[in-house]
Amino acid sequence: MDLIGLSSCLVPVTALIFLIYGIYKRVNVYEAFLEGAKEGLQCVVRLLPALVGLFTAVSVLRAGGILDDLGNLLSPLTQWLSIPSEIFSLSLIRLISSSAATSLLCDIFTQYGPDSFAGRCGSVLLCSTESIFYVSSVYLLSVGITKSRHTIPAALFATICGIISAIVLVRLAFGQ
């Protein structure tokens, strides 16, 4: 069996295992499922305002050209460091939204090509960083944490390390 066949069978088999285990433990599986679905919907309702705010912020940043303006403003610094300004814009948008960052990476691929320094660096950058504000809002709000204390600064530090690592690794690996 190939991997595609295996992955298409994995979800139904896992659900069947849970169903059999629940029956074995004499749990009303249907009621437990409905209770979990109810809790999931309540979680979505709690998270929805934060998600709408994040998606609105991404739309405003992209449509308003703010990322481009910021990239142009910092272009002397990025040129001095020999980093494409698109990588800076990509790293900023990645903090908020993974899907918007993926879309921006596709734009970089279209403009420069996937084998360019910007394309390779963007690919490694997306793999070595996280959508901090999205993940924080989803995970922290879902469990009711309102004071994140060291979470955001530590995540930002890890992201900066990921960005620097992506640039250095692509330069070392491809000599660009």
What local confidence, expressed as pLDDT, does residue 38 receive?
Answer: 92
- 32 lies in a domain? no
pLDDT reported for residue 17: 92
- Identify the pLDDT of residue 134: 79
State the pLDDT at residue 96.
83
Whole-structure pTM value: 0.66
Number of domains in the chain: 1
Q: Please indicate, yes or no, if residue 41 is contained in any of the structural domains.
A: no
* Within a domain: 17: no
| Per-residue pLDDT at 176 | 65
Query: Per the domain annotation, does 84 fall within a domain?
Result: yes
pLDDT of amino acid 86: 82
What is the pLDDT, as a whole number, of residue 1? 57
DSSP for the chain, written as a single string? --HHHHHHHHHHHHHHHHHHHHHHTT--HHHHHHHHHHHHHHHHHHHHHHHHHHHHHHHHHHHTTHHHHHHHHTHHHHHHTT--HHHHHHHHHHTT-HHHHHHHHHHHHHHH-TTSHHHHHHHHHHHH---HHHHHHHHHHHTT----TTHHHHHHHHHHHHHHHHHHHHHHHH--
Q: Which two tokens stand for residue 149?
A: 């204390």
- The Cα diameter of the chain in Å comes to 67
The pLDDT value given to residue 89: 82
> Is residue 36 assigned to a domain?
no
Residue 8 placed within a domain: no
* Regions of the chain short of the pLDDT cut 70: 1, 176
In a domain, 14, yes or no: no
* Other C-beta atoms lying within 10 Å of the C-beta of residue 56: 10
In a domain, 13, yes or no: no
Residues written for the chain: 176
Q: Which domain holds residue 55?
A: 47-174
